[in-house]
A and B are shown apart, each in its own frame.
Chain A
Amino acid sequence: MFDALVIGSGMSGGIVAKELCERGLKTLLLERGRHVEHGTDYTDWMEPWERPHLDGIPEEEAARDYPIQSNCYAMTSATKQFWVKDSDHPYSTPEDRPFRWYRGFHLGGRSVTWHRQSYRLSQMDFEANAREGIGSEWPIGYDDLAPWYDHIENFIGVAGARDGIDTLPDGDFLPPFGMTDFEREFALKMKAAFPGRNFIHARTAHLSESRRHQEELGRGRCQARDICQSGCSYGAYYSSLSGALPAAERTGNLTIVTDAIVDSIQYDPQAGRVSGVRVIDAKTKDARSYEARIVFCNASTIPTAAILLASRSEAFPEGLANRSGMVGRNLMDHPSTFVSGQFEGGPKTYYRGRRPTTCYTPRYRNVTEPADFSRGFGIQWWGTRTPILDNGLAQSGIGKGLMEKARTPGAWRMVMVAFGEMLPNPKNRVTLHPTKKDKWGIALPHIDCSYGSNEQQMMSTAIVDCREMIESAGGRVMIESDPLAIPGEGIHEMGTACMGKDPSKSVLNGFNQSHDVPNLFISDGSAMASSACQNPSLTYMAMSARAADAAAGMLKANLI
């Protein structure tokens, strides 16, 4: 029997395993996907001309095996190994409510392919549900999580600037990746025109410089290659593979088992505790069990809900830890939209290197500016003068003129991508398909999720605001998207086992511990009671470290 068992090796599971191992717990980490070796299994060595098919997925293969995954901006021929085959891992949705679920089943999960934007939530975010009477009231506030944000930022390395914004708290940052002259000029103009908005460096989990504890794990400084989703042999951006798992392994307390699909979590009614898990071997389809004193379910939002719902017993006929009936409910994502514009003139400068991040405008609606909707959105924005966007080259004739345009830095362009807060709604939910199963005999997740009128109004306003900012800076809007993408496109799904003060309306308490089962913890995105509008991974990691610390303490004190 292990002291602890962690389901999932991604963004949150990796941190849980590290923190438990560092507290002396013999920990089993189960990953449903294959083993990936940091460095040797990456494709970041490939030059552009070495990437098959100009880095595209063959169309028939994409249609057959990757109809969902191939829509992801980061899926290319060189990174294909980090996405699931949809044909092997189906799920269902209502016909009129599609959901794009992007996944990678391998050691490290989506921490290998994430976009690395790292922002803290603020007290405003933790109070929002209670203030508005929406969803589950967060059982923790910013002060509870602040030291754990510090802890995680120090461990993973976050490049950013201390901006002094209450609603986007500062942290322990490495130097930021600087703005181009165009971006700095834009930020100054915007700050003058819109005093209630902030235009800051993005905060990004990259080592703009490395510290000793990061170097001890084999991590090095970012080389500004921006081919991160191929994996980074420098370990310059944080992933479970570059950070948490090596840190856990050096304790001697970690056991990793890959290709182990958790079918269900086992519940012992006599003890009133979970006792372990049942897994299906991904290769042989054989079933086996593992036992542990505590279980962390960090399989990511949708699988975590599915595992709980599949773990039925006499004590939990509607699924494990589901006496509230909230497991699977309140599925959220971040609706996103974008506007881009072109500018005449601007600084006569260029840039060198490929910055792996953007600039950022934190939420200002319902903070410093009113809105006719609840909550708000943040905006990732960046300037570029590479003339490849918008079919720019194709519209440049042929011959020498075309080639001259291709090689010459063109007009500055501004791209603004807004990500909005989605309200929790119990009707947006994950259930198990009543009849359909995957090839391992596990019921398919059924995802029924759609945006509401608040998201529609919010993102329509985001477009108007972005347009207004570009035009007031002297630009001309060239491309504008519809206000709402398909749910799932934000790749920030969360909320299906929410934390809360009231056990009848939530699944987890303030330490990510099940209200119903004291030795069961969940600290992936499913724990989120609200989504805020910030990219959420940093919060998942901070919650995970805090929950692991609490669980280890409870175990030591024989409380669980």
Chain B
Amino acid sequence: MIRQSAFSRREILRNSLISAGLVFAASGCSEPQSKPLGLSEERFAILAATSNAMLPGGDGTGALDAGLPRIVVDLLDEWASAQTRTGLVSAIDAIGALHSAGVGFSLADPTTQSRLLETHDIDMMDIEKQGDEGRWYLALKNLLIAGFYHSEIALNRELDWDHDPGGWTPSIPLTRATRVQFWNRG
């Protein structure tokens, strides 16, 4: 069970992907500092590979179809504080440092990247043990998820999105084809 020490209606009523995902980042928000200007090519490559491994396309719609790496770079530039950006970039660097048989993450093939990220993900989810490294990984992961599921292509192909549903229907059959409605409050 999670105990929340600082309840606010924001956390429970506006439990959107981004607000759920970036609690840690927001709580560490600092005073304004210098403005970041994008990512290096190397980091962008790591971010793109991470996005693809996290939310693969294949025969469906994936992170790269949604332009997720660019969305995240824009968030780093325009939304994140200097402290948050540093933390998120550290999480990208930590993924970039993963390697298999002497091959680094960004140079590995997609299958190896997925395997490396999957192992890293399991390790990082033990937040108690991983501390800040784990928390920044979680923040990055949630940012990727939020960015993807706010994109037009993901909302319309992966989830069920209708800007004007026209009314409330409290019960419909749940079938194998039923997809989650995008709804901040759930």
Residues of A within 8 A of B (CB): 47-49, 51-56, 58-60, 62-64, 71-76, 115, 177-181, 183, 221-226, 336-338, 340, 347-355, 382, 384-391, 393-395, 397-400, 402-403, 406-410, 413, 415, 417, 477-482, 485-486, 489, 491
Kindly provide the distance from the CB of B24 to the nearest chain A CB, expressed in whole angstroms: 10
A338 x B12 contact (CB < 8 A)? yes
A391 pairs with B79, CB closer than 8 A: no
Q: With an 8 A cutoff between CB atoms, is B102 at the interface? A: no
Residue B128 is within 8 A (CB to CB) of chain A in the complex: no
Beyond A348-B173, A386-B186, A417-B13, 10 additional pairs, beta carbon < 8 A:
A54-B16, A54-B18, A63-B29, A178-B171, A226-B184, A352-B172, A355-B168, A385-B186, A397-B121, A409-B179
Docked-complex contact A352 and B81, CB < 8 angstroms: no
- In the bound assembly, the distance between CA atoms of A47 and B161 in angstroms comes to 10
B-chain residues with CB within 8 Å of residue A355 when the two chains form the complex? 168, 170
Give A76 to B184 CA distance when docked, in angstroms. 12
Nearest-neighbour CB distance to chain B for A560, whole angstroms, equals 41
Decide: A59 near B149, CB < 8 A? Known: A351-B169, A352-B181, A354-B183: no
Q: How many residue pairs at the A-B interface have CB separations less than 8 Å?
A: 254
B178 touches A479 (CB 8 A): no
Are A179 and B12 in touch, CB under 8 angstroms? no
State which of A55, A352, A399, A489 has its C-beta within 8 Å of the C-beta of B118: A399
Is B55's beta carbon under 8 Å from chain A?
Answer: yes
Known: A394-B141, A408-B179, A480-B3. A72 touches B15 (CB 8 A): no
- Interface residue? B53 (CB, 8 A): yes
A336 to B11, CA, bound (A): 13
Residue interface mask B151-181, A partner, CB < 8 A = 1: 1100100110101111111111110001111
Whether A349 pairs with B172 at a CB distance below 8 angstroms is: yes
B150 touches A54 (CB 8 A): yes
11 sampled A-B residue pairs with Cβ under 8 A? A52-B78, A62-B26, A64-B31, A73-B13, A74-B13, A180-B171, A354-B165, A354-B183, A386-B181, A394-B142, A403-B158
Is B108 part of the contact surface with A, judged by Cβ < 8 Å?
no
B residues in contact with A74, CB < 8 Å:
10, 13-14
Contacts of B30 in A (CB 8 A): 63
Known interface pairs A225-B163, A391-B138. Does A384 touch B155 (Cβ–Cβ under 8 Å)? no
Say yes or no: A63-B81 contact (C-beta < 8 A), given A181-B170, A395-B125.
Answer: yes
Asked if A388 and B15 sit within 8 Å, CB to CB, the answer is yes
Considering only residues 10-44 of chain B, those with a C-beta below 8 Å from chain A are 10-22, 25-26, 29-33
- Contacts A56-B22, A59-B79; is A353 near B169 (CB within 8 Å)? yes
Complex contact A72–B21 (CB within 8 A): no
Q: Across the interface, which residues of B come within 8 angstroms of A63, CB to CB? A: 29-32, 81
Instruction: Tell me if A391 and B169 are in contact (CB < 8 A).
Output: no
Cα distance A62–B20 in the bound complex, in angstroms: 17
CB distance from A52 to the nearest CB of B (A): 8
CA distance A402 to B21 in the complex (A): 15
CA distance A402 to B145 in the complex (A): 9
Q: In the bound complex, what is the Cα–Cα distance between A75 and B14 (angstroms)?
A: 9
Most chain A CB neighbours (cut-off 10 Å) among B32, B58, B152, B171? B171
Which chain B residue lies CB-closest to A57?
B79
Roughly how many angstroms separate A224 CA and B169 CA in the complex, as a whole number?
9
Q: Which of B26, B56, B138 contacts A400, CB < 8 Å?
A: B56
Kindly list chain B residues whose C-beta atoms are within 8 Å of the C-beta of A55: 16, 18, 150
Q: A340-B12, A349-B171, A353-B168 are in contact. Are A489 and B185 (CB under 8 A)?
A: no
Residue in contact with A58 in the complex, picked from B78, B149, B181, CB distance below 8 Å: B78
Write out the residue numbers on chain B whose beta carbons fall within 8 Å of the beta carbon of A352. 165, 168-169, 172, 181
- A49 adjacent to B12 (CB under 8 Å): no
Which residues of chain B from 74 to 111 have any CB-CB distance to chain A below 8 Å in the complex?
A: 75, 78-82, 84
Complex Cα–Cα for A226 and B8 (A): 19
Q: Does chain A have a CB within 8 A of B114?
A: yes
Which B41-61 residues have C-beta < 8 A from chain A?
Answer: 53-56, 58, 60
A385-B185 Cα distance, complex, nearest whole Å: 10
Nearest opposing residue in chain B for A490, CB measure: B9
Contacts of B84 in A (CB 8 A): 59
Shortest distance from the beta carbon of B26 to any chain A beta carbon, whole Å: 6
**CB-based contact A388/B186 at 8 Å:** yes
Q: Is B29's CB under 8 angstroms from A62's CB?
A: yes
Contact A489 B29 (CB under 8 A): no
Q: What's the least CB distance linking A265 to chain B, in Å?
A: 33
